[in-house]
Amino acid sequence: FQPFGSISLNYNYTDINLKHGYGNATYHLLGLKPEISFTTKLLWSTLIQYNTQLKNISFNSIFQWRYAPMSDFYIVLRDDANLSGVNKSIELSFKLTYWLGI
């Protein structure tokens, strides 16, 4: 999709085996990250992850507007839910940066 966007799929497998009977654990982390560039100043990126250690699904979406060089406005939506679909937390954040150039 370049130069307009990209999609990546990530998988992380962790196998922990402790000596002397302290136990073992296996964890999986699966992530999907689509990114879209509407223009050179308007960008959107999302990360969706499934985590077997925490037994939850995470969603993080960032909308970025570069209104001047080194100056950005961000809107961030973040959501964590367990496997039954019950939200653990949901956040909506705004961030404004401005470069003074002194």
pTM for the model stands at 0.79
Per-residue tens of pLDDT for the chain, all 102 residues? 557 899 999 999 999 999 988 999 999 999 999 999 999 899 999 999 999 988 899 999 999 999 998 899 999 999 999 887 777 889 999 999 999 877
Is residue 41 within 8 Å of residue 64, measured between CB atoms? no
pLDDT of the residue at 65: 96
Sequence-distant (6+) residues with CB within 8 A of 83 are 55, 56, 57
Quote the Cα angle for 54-59-63, to 5°: 150
3-state secondary structure of 92: strand
| Best CA proximity match to 31, nearest among 64, 57, 6, 61 | 57
Judging by DSSP bridges, how do beta strands 56-68 and 71-82 pair with one another? Answer: antiparallel
